[in-house]
Amino acid sequence: MTRRIIAIASAGGHWQQLMLLRGSYAHHKVTYLTTLAGLAESYDAAPAHKIPDCNRHTPLRLMISTAVIFWHVLRIRPHVIITTGAMPGLIALTLGRLIFARTIWVDSLANAEQMSASGKYAARVAHLRLSQWQGVAQSEGAEFAGRLL
């Protein structure tokens, strides 16, 4: 069965790690969302849409980003939303729960000593929360399934 998936990540390391996961969902209908125009195209990730970047310190941008992501979630009606972070991915997971999508958070490899702030919050909304560090997974109540890099 082909499922609709939203794969979302901020530009930079979050996006690179999301691209390393592509093989696990490539046989489904995937729509990519990221914060940098042209980034998805450079990875041959299509269809893709640019979303506004935001963080907890930019409340106006956070509201705008939430509205844009919500529009994509309602339009696509994904079965699954997967993210490697950061805040836009967390927003997508939260909104995905409203339409009963399955949600997956993969914390960044950079968080070797503790889960990111968004990753900690993801415990409330993600059906599956993964850390790429076994010790972090154990201490944070997440799962460990290996590293991407």
Map out the domains of the chain with their CATH numbers.
4-144 (3.40.50.2000)
Q: What is the DSSP letter of 123?
A: T
Q: What is the pLDDT of residues 50-69, one digit of tens each?
A: 999 999 999 999 999 999 99
CA-closest candidate to residue 34, choices 86, 109, 70: 86
Tell me: pLDDT of 111 over 90: no
Q: What is the DSSP letter of 27?
A: T
89: CB partners within 8 A, 6+ apart: 8, 9, 10, 14, 83, 105, 118
Q: What is the pLDDT of residues 66-110, one digit of tens each?
A: 999 999 999 999 999 999 999 999 999 999 999 999 999 999 888
User: Whole-model pTM?
Assistant: 0.96
